[in-house]
Amino acid sequence: MAKPKKQPRPKAETPKGFRDYFGAEVSQRAAMLGQIAGVYHRYGFDALESSAVETVEALGKFLPDVDRPNEGVFAWQEADETGNGDWLALRYDLTAPLARVYAQHRNDLPTPYRRYAMGPVWRNEKPGPGRFRQFYQCDADTVGAPSVAADAEICAMLADCLEEVGIPRGDYIVRVNNRKVLNGVLEATGLVDAAQRDAVLRTIDKFDKVGESGVRELLGKGRLDASGAYIDGVGLSDEQAAPVLAFLTSKGDDTAATLANLRAAIGGSEIGGKGVDELEEIADLLAAQGYGPDRIVIDPSVVRGLGYYTGPVFEAELTFEILDEKGRKRQFGSVAGGGRYDDLVKRFTGQEVPATGVSIGVDRLLAALHAKGRIQSHDTGPVVVTVMDRERMADYQQMVGELRAAGIRAEVYLGNPKNFGNQLKYADKRNSPVAVIEGGDEKAKGVVQIKDLILGAEIAENATLEEWKERPSQFEVPRAQLVEKVREILGGQG
């Protein structure tokens, strides 16, 4: 009889494009989400937690560079009796679910409806360095408000969020543009061919990478890229390209100059003029609230989601420098973006519903704060109550209960207590600030030993023997003073 084949053990590895998050990372993200939620709530937005699964039909075709939505999402078909059922997918972002929620519950929701949402989203895309298939988004949107006052409010709120999480003024800028101005520029070129207009839009989107001269070449005959390959141009004449270049380089010394340059770039375009008017109103509304160009600025180089946004668009950029993996200085870049999208809910209702919103990249923000040294790479662990006598576990549990009741994070060591050195190694690995020790002698005397692990580590690393004597890191106190002394030590550690 053949021997049954042994089943191979599964590999202990994360799927490609995904990663695991441990204690400090989870705690820091939760803290940041709480800070941002506090700002959103202060602005009058209500929380919404929608399903992580949507129908592919509800997600729509708002995914980049794909013809079929389920090419960019994790999708599956729910089989019914006939073998045919709805296609479902993990949500790609938090905006498409909002459109479905608003369309479904609009009779019960206030208008405008102001909501914020936070959570993971999933994209079935090729992963790369720093690019994962699951990541967090942190959105706030206003649905049902046609006034650009709603866009101005989102920009102000975005600036407040950045400062709330620890990005000081001067280290960020919120840049604002308007898709209507861009439409006006396209009118000024005189182009009517849809393919050519799309090619111009794609070229505009490369302005940050290739600059004015590169865009000029790509709008014309073409250019050689860094690899030496020749990239065909759009084929515009100098006259046709002029409004596009004027638009991209229209940022002036102040808001008034920028707006004047934009008006010149759009020529007589009615839609372009409306876009410039909206930018001017946004700038006035922000100035009235004290948000000047040091925080929020009109900037024509912002080009986001060309097929998605219908009006004002905005992007938050961190302006400080960091070192890349090769040690070169570079600006950190964008951490949030959004804009007005008045066509999304229409897919469900058949009627245009104005909407505007922003999405903050929490993981990007956390990476920025780490890069600037404003967040530690680890959390402080719990106070560890060591076990000297396993028969007295109730005593140790009583101690830890008193510490927890006082609001102090604490735990009893639950491993093998035989080797006391291993207990202190465990405390070190947990980054514990304090260890509590009560052996038989301490129990008989009614005292406990409290070891300041942070100070002890510093003394062991830096201090001379004389300094050690002057700065004790272990204290014997009456058992009744356990909580008081631990709190004192933690306070001294900051």
Q: List pLDDT tens digits, range 467-486.
A: 555 667 899 999 999 999 99
Instruction: Select from 3.60.21.10, 3.40.50.620, 3.30.930.10, 3.10.450.40 the CATH code of 18-146+357-379.
Output: 3.30.930.10
Of 345, 341, 355, whose CA–CA distance to 102 is shortest? 345
Q: For the chain, how many helices (H) and strands (E)? A: 18, 18
100 CB-near residues (< 8 Å, 6+ apart): 50, 54, 58, 348
Between CA 425 and CA 431, with CA 429 as vertex, the angle to 5 degrees is 115
Does domain 383-493 match CATH 3.10.20.30?
A: no
Lowest mean pLDDT among 210-214, 422-426, 462-466: 462-466
> Which pLDDT score, from 0 to 100, does residue 65 have?
43
| Assigned CATH topology for domain 161-341 | BirA Bifunctional Protein; domain 2 (3.30.930)
pLDDT tens track for 150-207: 999 999 999 999 999 999 999 999 999 999 998 898 888 887 788 888 888 888 878 8
Q: What is the CA radius of gyration of the chain?
A: 29
Domain(s) of CATH 3.40.50.800: residues in the chain: 383-493
Average pLDDT, rounded, for the chain: 88
Is 115 a residue whose pLDDT tops 80? yes
Q: What is the DSSP string of 292-361?
A: -TTTEEE-TT----TTT--SEEEEEEEEEEEE-TTS-EEEEEEEEEEEE-SSTTHHHHSS---EEEEEE-
pLDDT band of 243, cuts 50, 70, 90: confident
pTM for this entry: 0.84
pLDDT band of 62, cuts 50, 70, 90: very low
pLDDT band of 344, cuts 50, 70, 90: confident
Known binding residues are 93-95, 123, 137, 141, 304, 308-309
> Which pLDDT score, from 0 to 100, does residue 464 have?
59
Known binding residues for L-histidine are 93-95, 123, 137, 141, 304, 308-309
Residue pair 302/174 in contact by the 8 Å Cβ criterion: no
pLDDT band of 48, cuts 50, 70, 90: very high
| 493 membership: H or E segment, kind and range | helix 482-493
Residue pair 16/127 in contact by the 8 Å Cβ criterion: yes
> Which pLDDT score, from 0 to 100, does residue 296 have?
97
> Which pLDDT score, from 0 to 100, does residue 125 have?
84
Domain(s) of CATH 3.30.930.10: residues in the chain: 18-146+357-379, 161-341
